[in-house]
Amino acid sequence: MKKTLLLVLLVIAGFRTMAQSDSYGTGKGRLDVHPVYHGSLWLKWNGLAIAIDPYGGAQRYEAMGQPDLVLITDIHGDHMDSSTLVNLDLRKATLILPQAVKDRAAAFLPETTNLQVLPNNATTSFKGIEITALPMYNLPDTPGVRHPKGRGNGYVLNLGGKRVYISGDTEDIPEMRTLKAIDIAFICMNKPFTMDINQAAGAVLAFKPAIVYPFHFRQPGGFSDVNEFARIVKAGNPAIDVRIRKWY
């Protein structure tokens, strides 16, 4: 009886996990997208497990297995989460990150961890994945802002011809508005730290991704209204598929 109950619970848990995931075809097999928490997600593609800004506890990433690639966008604790990173099995992983993140991560990660710095506007590749680092910053970019230009990275990944954009903590900067041919975008929206929903919707309507996930939308006092963000985007361009998922 106990074994039967455990099996039922595992099946239910599996359905709950799948309900938060999406799959897309690419030129090299299936891309699986798994929202995790706040601004964290992981991807599976071509036999590779890719973690983005792992945050909120390593247990959230157990279903991913051992990561091959980890992307970190910025130094803040909801992106460079030391307590999560030290409990992930990073022995075979390459971590791609800005210099400011490496300077801090080197203090708590083992010396053997493979840390690769990628500055703004630079491109690298990892086992068939083309990775470009984009600026992410607050407007106006003045001294003392929470996210100054040049410190953190947004990323564009090319996975078998499918182009995925992860915004990082940014406002509706020109570098985002002028993006081209983005298939899937993850867009932050939590004033006063990043954008409000109107800025985010305006940027999305400017660069026209095929699919957009609002994420990173917890803000002081609650959460951004992602349903209103979706309404604004759909009113401006019905062809854009807005996918609201449970990030919290």
Per-residue pLDDT tens digits for 155-184: 999 999 999 999 999 999 999 999 999 999
Whole-structure pTM value: 0.91
Q: Is the pLDDT confidence value at 6 over 50?
A: no
Q: Which domains does the chain have, with CATH numbers?
A: 24-242 (3.60.15.10)
Strand order in the sheet with 211-215: 123-126, 129-136, 152-159, 162-166, 184-188, 211-215, 241-242
Chain centroid to CA 79: how far?
9
First vs last C-alpha separation in the chain: 33
User: Do 94 and 127 form a contact (C-beta atoms < 8 A)?
Assistant: no
pLDDT at 3 over 90: no
Q: What is the pLDDT of residues 8-20, one digit of tens each?
A: 333 333 333 334 8
Name the residue among 147, 149, 166, 130 with its Cα closest to residue 41. 166
Q: How many residues does the chain have?
A: 248
Cα(193)–Cα(85) distance, integer angstroms? 23
Residues β-bridged to residue 225: none
pLDDT of 20: 80
Candidates 37, 47, 66, 71; CA nearest to 164 is 71
Tokens for 136, please give them. Answer: 């992410």
Is residue 220 exposed (0-12), middle (13-18) or buried (19+ Cβ within 10 Å)? exposed
Question: Per-residue pLDDT tens for 99-145?
Answer: 999 999 999 999 999 999 999 999 999 999 999 999 999 999 999 99
